[in-house]
Homo-oligomer: A and B are copies of this chain.
């Protein structure tokens, strides 16, 4: 692989790689409003140009002009978008995915459904570095159901291994909820192997795909994983707070229910029947009225991913993070940075994280320069490289800025203590 072997750390080299990239034409479909170096597309994805136009039509025509007459269109869109996300992003059947609510609410639904599938078991397995909202949802459900939470003591920088999971399992584990890609380190958990180990122990698998969907392949189907959830505002570029998605393996649809019974999951909804009678299929996992603006943004966001292709994006992400590793080793290691992500390409998601004891100050100095990273407690600088929208030149400029900041002590003029977020 020429990039990781190259000694050519010039910006010209980065530009040459960009010019040759098969993803170049896809990147041009996004809004780049100014010269911000954006290394946080794994937190909030960029705006597709088509989404801007599309939402105007949804607002001014579908809502403003057609009013409730648009509901048949919106209901059909709900199904169409979920199907496109299922097949084009997640590699599962169109009937196995729906769009609904937030990731948190969807986790609440599927974890309850998973626990229902193993009524005799009382343990929910999590990883200590699961995304916090996953931990909180699990804690609330365990309390309400009289279950207990068991924590796999994974390696925060190295990720969750099959062996760690295996050693935490016994006959009392009902289900496990793990993140496919760790929000801190970017480490990939092996969905196929870990789900296999869970199934051997009779446990149900619930996967959180927030940091993977749209960036790397998600082998739910191969693993025969039971449940998954994820958000659409990161790599799926669907905008702040756009609705989340939810996957349930098809053979389970008629065995399971979720706890939030609502009229969008009701058979013949507009007959307004008095007793809850859930539809067959994945729609029983919906509850209330769908968020139409967000849904319409997802349609464009998913299209941006499926047009490029997940395999191409996974490969592109590996090249970007591999290039980031080269720059980190060459430029930043001498300045006190250490790598807080796996080095093996097969274990890296699409972001790289670096330790530095002044990470918080460096983060602020970068933002002041128009370079946007993310900070993660306690000493991590997280650098997202969304394969669809981040260029090699952007990575070069971002790392070059970090190098300059630390070399010149520019970051020391920023507060060392993080302000309390209320």
Contacts and interface: CB of A to CB of B under 8 A. Distances in A.
Interface of A: 31, 33-34, 36, 38, 40, 43-44, 46-47, 51-52, 55-56, 59-65, 67-71, 74, 101-105, 108, 128, 131-133, 135-137, 139-141, 144, 231, 233, 239-244, 259-266, 268-276, 287-295, 297, 367, 372, 374, 376-377, 420-421
A332 B259 CA distance: 45
4 smallest CB-CB distances across A and B, nearest first, come from: A102-B288, A104-B288, A140-B261, A104-B262
A80 to B, nearest CB: 14
How many copies of this chain are found per oligomer?
2
B272 A377 contact: yes
Contacts of A274: 128, 132, 135
B295 A260 contact: no
Most chain B CB within a 10 A radius of its CB, from A62, A101, A367:
A101
A112 B69 CA distance: 35
Contact of A101 (B31, B63, B105, B135): B105
Given A274-B135, A293-B293, A294-B293, A51 B47 contact: no
Contacts of A36: 65, 67
Nearest to A102: B288
13 contacts: A44-B67, A44-B68, A47-B64, A56-B56, A101-B101, A102-B288, A104-B262, A132-B269, A133-B262, A135-B275, A141-B259, A242-B293, A291-B291
Most chain B CB within a 10 A radius of its CB, from A38, A51, A262:
A262
A61 B31 CA distance: 10
A286 B233 CA distance: 19
Contact of A63 (B47, B140, B273): B47
Contacts of A52: 56, 59-60, 64
A124 to B, nearest CB: 13
A383 B221 CA distance: 48
B47 A377 contact: no
B38 A266 contact: no
A50 to B, nearest CB: 12
A104 B240 contact: no
A263 B132 contact: yes
B59 A51 contact: yes
